[in-house]
Amino acid sequence: MKKYGRTYHLPISPGVMNDDKILQEMSVLTAAEDVVFTEKMDGENTTIHSGGCHARSPDSGYHASRDWMKAYAAGMSMTLAENERIVGEYLFAQHSVAYDNLPTYFLGFAWIIGSTIQSWDATLRRFDALGIKPVPLLRRGPFNDDAINGVLAGLDLGRQEGFVVRETSSFDETEMGTHMAKYVRADHVQSESHWMQTEITQNGLRTK
């Protein structure tokens, strides 16, 4: 089991908290031939591996909201190699953003073999083979101000958390601090109580 690395904030991200890190070196993203912008979903970072699944911290304890995730992971863990991990956003329990039209409660965003985060296209092929839905794609192409402004113009930051941008080619987990970043809306956490200390409010699934 291995903890998924931290995604740094873009310098323009208004949702930076005291313990967050900000991307200081933009040259890798600006020089990339191709990047993808995906929606930053407001859930629990979760890893599926050959032995089951865990929240971002491998030593996370039991919580009733994780029962669905454990059952879901059990159906595919046995098909994963020992050095293979699927990472995504688990959206069963409502956090600060409420969802009422999810395709499923787990949306993937990374496929890792060893310490290498696989290319975006290879990741989508692996997700398709496993029956995993990816996080929503917002834009693909170069990384520049026009792209950022276009993505932001298409977001409703009253109902969406923000976006994540990553280089489409593969890179090592140690390079997450330069090859990807996130933009989070201002005042994202809008409750004084952590979602795990309150009654579980279940997000809604798509009906058709």
The predicted-structure confidence for 125-152, as pLDDT tens digits, reads as follows 999 999 999 999 999 999 999 999 999 9
How far from each other are the two terminal CA atoms of the chain, in whole angstroms?
Answer: 36
Q: Are strands 52-55 and 137-141 parallel, antiparallel or unpaired?
A: unpaired
pLDDT of residue 191: 55
| % residues pLDDT > 90 (the chain) | 80
pLDDT at 57 over 70: no
Rounded Cα distance between 191 and 7, Å, is 23
Least confident of 4-8, 101-105, 204-208: 204-208
CA-closest candidate to residue 135, choices 119, 123, 145: 123
pLDDT at 181 over 60: yes
Residue 12 Cα to chain centre, angstroms: 19
Read off the pTM. 0.91
Burial class of residue 95, CB neighbours in 10 A (0-12, 13-18, 19+): buried
**Structural domains of the chain ordered from first start:** 27-188 (3.30.470.30)
